[in-house]
Amino acid sequence: MEIGIDTFVSSGGGTIVERDERAIENLLERIKFADELGFDLYGIGEHHGKDKLDSAPVVLMAAAASITNRIRITSAVTGLSTVDPVRLFQEFATLDLVSKGRAEIIAGRGASLDAFPLFGLNIKDSAELFTEKLELLLKIRDNDTITWSGKFRPSLDNVSVYPRPLQASLPIWHAALRTPASFIRAGELGLPLMVAIIDGQIDQIIPLVELYREAGEDAGFSKDQLKVGLHSMGYVANTTEEAIKDFYPGWSNSMSKMHGLPKSLSRFEIDLKSTGSALLVGNPEEVAAKILHLSEALGGISRFCFQLDYASLPHEKLLQCIEVIGNKVIPIVKQESPVIY
């Protein structure tokens, strides 16, 4: 199983979060450290609000590629509904050349609602935009020269798109949250699936992953093409008590802003002990065991990515967490996880 980290880049302005320049410097330091520790991938998100610095994620990925050697550099999610697939492919093909074949796209409808008015698009069209643009992106990936027409973009008539990536086929994963149509579409296209589960129960995801695999098999795709990845919030420290002490205050504040009703500390601790919870906060042994349990519940996953940012932890705490995951969690998971196609 591949183990990675997904991140968004918070701007300055708080007592915990760094100033903008320092925030990007710290991000690159964390990615370099993860590379040295043997993580498989590092994903950078995409947001367009005033408190985030990942509005041009491919620029950050290229910077990360230039200071690393082996870690795969991915988008945590690319908001495909609001970008031009031709330009996106050119950017990631260039990133693939810069990184010597380590680039990946995780394509989704996008979590940044600010992007739609910013680029002159109607959020009501997001599903239709995504479907059309994914079709075009895959066609560009699989063909040097294409002819294509759609509703939202000018037609292309026998047009060649360059540069081409170093990898024979640039990996494109389909992101999904809880919309059944997204899981079915990913299966019908034979794309690997990246599932985001934020503070939820794995039972909610199991039937959706089954839909994905059924749709993929019905479309004639093999098991090795129907990979499943999982993205969830987490934080690891040497002891569970330390992990909860570090993580809970910032996480509770974030959940209050997002949902209005944060969980009490006692409720939070009860949820952590639930085998079905996809919130991974604790000591290395507990977190590794939960990753393996989640994989088993989903019929086997190919990768797991920690989202470490929701607790607004300082850079030093994030480095400590990355070190614990790299030195203690990854060895357990790699040794115990079965081969997943």
Domain of residue 100, residue span? 2-336
CATH number of residue 8's parent domain: 3.20.20.30
Assess contact for 40 and 6: CB atoms under 8 A: no
User: What pLDDT is stored for residue 244 in this prediction?
Assistant: 95
User: What pLDDT is stored for residue 50 in this prediction?
Assistant: 79
User: What pLDDT is stored for residue 282 in this prediction?
Assistant: 95
User: What pLDDT is stored for residue 15 in this prediction?
Assistant: 46
User: What pLDDT is stored for residue 111 in this prediction?
Assistant: 61
232 in a domain, yes or no? yes
73 in a domain, yes or no? yes
341 in a domain, yes or no? no
Question: What pTM was estimated for this model as a whole?
Answer: 0.93
300 in a domain, yes or no? yes
* Cis before 207? omega within 30: no
What are the residue ranges in the chain where pLDDT is below 70? 11-18, 111-112, 199, 258-263, 338-341
Assess contact for 93 and 169: CB atoms under 8 A: no
172 in a domain, yes or no? yes
77 in a domain, yes or no? yes
Q: How far is CA 249 from CA 198, 239, 245, 285, in A?
A: 17, 17, 7, 23
| Domain total of the chain | 1
Q: How far is CA 189 from CA 24, 125, 126, 167, 237, in A?
A: 36, 21, 19, 20, 39
Say how far apart CA 282 and CA 276 lie, in whole Å: 15
User: What pLDDT is stored for residue 341 in this prediction?
Assistant: 41
User: What pLDDT is stored for residue 301 in this prediction?
Assistant: 96
User: What pLDDT is stored for residue 248 in this prediction?
Assistant: 92
155 in a domain, yes or no? yes
Q: Which amino acid is at 129?
A: L
261 in a domain, yes or no? yes
